A and B are shown apart, each in its own frame.
Chain A
Amino acid sequence: MGLIIIRTILIFITLLFVMRLMGKRQIGEMQPYELVITLIIADLACIPMADTSIPLTYGFIAVLTVYFLHQLVCLIDLKVPKAKKILSGAPSIVLNKNGIDETQLAKNNLDVCDLIESLRGAGYFSLDAVDYALYEAGGSFSALPKKEYKNQENSLSVLLVNGGRFDEKNVALTGKTKEEYLEILRGQGSNELKKVLVLTVDGNGKAYLQSKGQKYKVFQIPFQERLW
């Protein structure tokens, strides 16, 4: 019994630690410790239930230990703010008025594609549509749109450069070549492709460019006709 309690506590701590290391992507909409409980409680209940060689008491004790740990973590969460940050994490502002914060993205094992996907999920189809975007401690995504966002003529943006690399399929979709885009980038002061964090373009030709460690730029790329 004591062994089961100690083993359950050890597995709980290990899973919680690993979940916190994995970042917000794996969490979904739960707090890390809630996800850990969801992960282990099913097996704790099912294994003694299905395997008749294990006394059911083992299942009861393990579930009771998980309940105890849940109450303990809830209490720490409420009463010790510093511990709350360790146990549940803190919100990560991944996009601010200067553009994408790649450090915060990397910290949560996310890339620009994930950010664009989250923005689309929140109803924003362009990186310059929001002033702030953040992943909450529980993994959910929130964004603060720009004041003028509603009046903008919006169109779906596609990713042309992600982390210093061209997305060849999207480049072909716009009807321009990589060389032409390199020329455009040079015109914007970005001489090295590998230093470009992100370049997107929407159907109206509006481009969003951000070089690593710099503020983003929005400019117009001339196309003969509207792209999409």
Chain B
Amino acid sequence: MWKTLSGLFVSLLLLVGLSIYEIRYVTTAMDRIRDAAIGLFHLTEERCATHEDGNALRLLWEAEKETLHIWVPHTSIENIDYHLNEALGYLYQENYEDALPKLEVIIDMTETITHSIALLPGNVF
């Protein structure tokens, strides 16, 4: 009986704790990346973003994604990798028109990932 109750309590605590931690961690990390991506998007719109600005976003993303791999499906991370690399390539060529949609995709994906872990009926079913 004691074993059942303690197992129940510990597992419930772990499940609730991990759920709260995951939502907070992923939301915070994605907010940071989205803010940086929005900043880069505005610089690109003003046609003054450099390859170095893009690299700063990449460094931030590389640091965050190490841990994000634990919580977020790897395909979502690969998608952000893909669009970020393309955006940086365009920025290197100073091709601002083509870099903008790529950055927009990254901003949108950070929102989608945060939304996909939220406890909403649409996500449950």
Contacts and interface: CB of A to CB of B under 8 A. Distances in A.
Contact count band on B = 20 to 34
Q: Helix, strand, loop or mixed for chain A's interface? A: helix
A1 interface: yes
Given A53-B73, A55-B69, A71 B7 contact: yes
A57 interface: yes
Contact of B70 (A55, A68, A71): A55
Interface in B26-45: none
A78 B11 contact: no
Contacts of B4: 71, 74-75, 78
Contact of B18 (A6, A54, A61): A61
Given A72-B8, A78-B1, A2 B72 contact: no
Contacts of A78: 1, 4
Contact of A3 (B14, B69, B123): B123
Interface in A21-38: none
B60 interface: no
A149 interface: no
Interface string B1-16: 1001101100110110
B86 interface: no
A223 interface: no
Interface residues of A, number: 22
Interface in B19-64: 19, 22-23
Interface in B90-125: 117, 119, 123-124
A2 B11 contact: no
A65 B15 CA distance: 7
Contacts of A61: 15, 18
Given A1-B18, A65-B15, 16 more contacts: A1-B22, A1-B71, A1-B117, A2-B19, A2-B23, A3-B117, A3-B123, A3-B124, A5-B15, A55-B69, A67-B7, A68-B11, A71-B11, A74-B4, A75-B8, A78-B4
Interface of B: 1, 4-5, 7-8, 11-12, 14-15, 18-19, 22-23, 69-75, 117, 119, 123-124
6 contacts: A5-B19, A7-B124, A55-B70, A65-B15, A67-B11, A68-B15
Interface of A: 1-3, 5-7, 10, 52-55, 57, 61, 64-65, 67-68, 71-72, 74-75, 78
